[in-house]
Structure 1
Amino acid sequence: MQRLNETNILLGITGGIAAYKTPDLVRKLKAQGANVRVVLTPSAKEFVSPLALQAVSGTPVSLELLDPAAEAAMGHIELAKWADRVLVAPASANFIARLAAGMADDLLSTLCLATSAPLYLAPAMNQQMYRAAATQQNLHTLQTRGVTLLGPAEGEQACGDTGPGRMLEPQELTDLMASAVTTPLLAGVSLLITAGPTREAIDPVRYLSNHSSGKMGYALAKAAQQLGAQVTLVSGPVALSTPFGCRRIDVQSAQQMHQAVMAEVANMDIFIGCAAVADYRPAQQVEQKIKKNRDEMTLSLVKNPDILSDVAARPDRPFVVGFAAETQDMEHYARDKLSRKRLDMIAANDVSKQNIGFNSEQNALSVFWPSGETQLPLCDKHSLALQLLQVIAEQYKEKQDAQDRRKDTGSADR
């Protein structure tokens, strides 16, 4: 389904290294059915070719405010009226400042003042420029005027710095624009996700853990936010950036993850336990580093709290989704876990297969619930997350409807 079918999107591009990604952004917007017209600022032409953007958009690129050919038909007003949505990506610190000041000294800033369409900015700049008090004040000013900010993301930047200021990726921006046009699938839903491994300390320098990278859980958090959910992510130690728009709580051990989940879950509609939580921990953590003075060493292990079971046992339980990473008899063990822990749904994958599961960019899932099942074939984890959330949303709504019917029946009986 083309989620942006016949939506007119005016894409404004300002001067910044992230402008090199905009031909791909245009392509992805058009793949979702959007009609795209592009406006370049003078400095943006130094980073991306107007000819390349014309080729992927299929329409001439607008460059100058005082273009005699365009002005004959009041081109800037025509463009402002044509747009259903205006997206500025990348939005530089300079452009953000001029827009906040209400300036109209080039075509793009003039269009932003002249249009009645919703305006979206995807900031992109050095992390220190983004953190600067002036930039933060300008962004706040624009938000109070109804401008929607998309990002920025955090991570390594072209200058070598690391921090907030990266433009969101073209696929992320496309998904967010699609969500803005349609009613998001998870609008109004509060969702709690666990992700990554846990580390169970043996001594100050050693721990027990597993191979989980956290990529599947982070993909779910990112996709859920794009689908309109309010996402809280409880994360074990991973080398991943916080998905845009998500609240992140960092933990190390299974006990810490249990405490964080129990502190948050009362206010949640859906809980997804995607973390690879250690089943056991050392009975005692040695205060000093253990020296290698014996040929053998015995560790005594005790069981960790079961997060999934404890969430599912609550009287005010949310819709509970578990994960099962198996190496054999996947369906048998997944269905047993679904029943034994009283889950609403479980997503299982076979981590014994190559290029799937832990540390991989791809995954495939078998999804089970008490009255049904479905198979989600191998694909990248973000696409898979969107598919899984579609299934979760359907079953969550079905359960909510059933509960509402029971309430109505109970009221009628009284």
Structure 2
Amino acid sequence: MKEYEATITDFTHDGKGVARIDGKAVFVAGALQDERVRLAIRRRHRTYDEAETVELLERSPHRVEPKCPHFGQCGGCSLQHLDAAAQIAMKQRVLAENFARIGKVEPESWLPPLTGEPWGYRRKGRLSVRSVPKKGRVLVGFREESNPRYVADIGRCEVIHPRIGERIAALSERVGTLEAAADIAQIEFAAGDDAVALVFRHLKPLGERDREALAAFGREHGFAIYLQPGGVSSVHPLWPEEPRLAFRLDPGAGADPVELEFRPLDFVQVNAGMNQRMLAHAMALLDPQPGDRVLDLFCGLGNFTLPIARRVAEVAGVEGEHGLVERAGDNAARNGIGNARFHVANLFEDQRGADWARQPWDKLLLDPPRAGADKVLDYLPHKATKRIVYVSCHPASLARDAGLLVHRHGFRLVSAGVMDMFPHTAHVESIALFER
């Protein structure tokens, strides 16, 4: 590979350094802004090239030693070599640039970045599995950074919940003993407050010996073991017979806590500690009052809906996945909450005829997936809605929707800021307050 010297002038959305060689953009893995590097091109494209850092010639003052020995090989993290303050500043800059470029808006004030524990935070995720006869063992981990076709050879993970991250090698060893080792495609993990579950996706039926080996692994390490022979609906517990996953949330203002039960493949916020901080943040911005009627769109299991219900007159949650809505209703009943209603609706389709969409709501909370909420904003909010809190996992869609709320619906973008839900990655989670 031909090598070049270049100065890194910017970051990409996924944490690579950006240089220019002969006027063409080059995305450089392992390089930080303002560093001078010797790089090698590894892939060429029409409008940009991809490269890797061969040698650091001038080092950024924000560069730190990665905690994980697999950093650079494993694709699970992209920013461990950047200090925490610079990571969050980069994410705030990305959000500001998206507001200006896409939404043509700017918040009246910036919220202080919301941060938490940067290690062992990930309670939900998917590990790839690959049997490698040449190595005589099975690899369990995330995909390689430079070649996603391969599974990174790791023994532990510093960002996964410690009960799982510290047992990657043991998990790999156990899968390697199975007769069906080559037929295990992936392992999903999910941690509640008190229990941790592993879901083994297997492409062929497992024999009794393999089933017992997995159950024994669960007993030994304190994991609930699930099997998944097909689609999501095929997931079932192997050991124990009736595992229970749940997490608790504090609604604040002296209200009773709520507990949300969930299934191992349900969507829950990946970072448990940050989820509680985010809830408190959202509550402070929403300012729920005893007489308020609140609409929570893309509500999932009721992560916001049920804590809000503790502090208002009425709340309605709307979600597109029927199973999540059913479990949200069960969670409401389990917590003795009678002022929360849940509705199944595809919020990427026109729902203006639905009963919940025709009602007046004092306040609105939005927590959409990456695609954002622009389809909803065609018919909501109504004039009665004076305050909106928007929780976002994608700065570009938030910026677009902020433009719609400000320029079409007459709201002010009062404040906005980033939340470090995924430390050591370039993922930008953010929150914004709109008022009129």
User: Smaller-chain TM-score range?
Assistant: 0.3 to 0.5
Greater Rg by CA: 1
Q: Which structure is higher in strand share?
A: 2
The alignment's TM-score, normalised by the length of structure 2, stands at 0.31
> Which is bigger in relative contact order (C-alpha 8 A, separation at least 6)?
2
Q: Which structure is higher in helix share?
A: 1
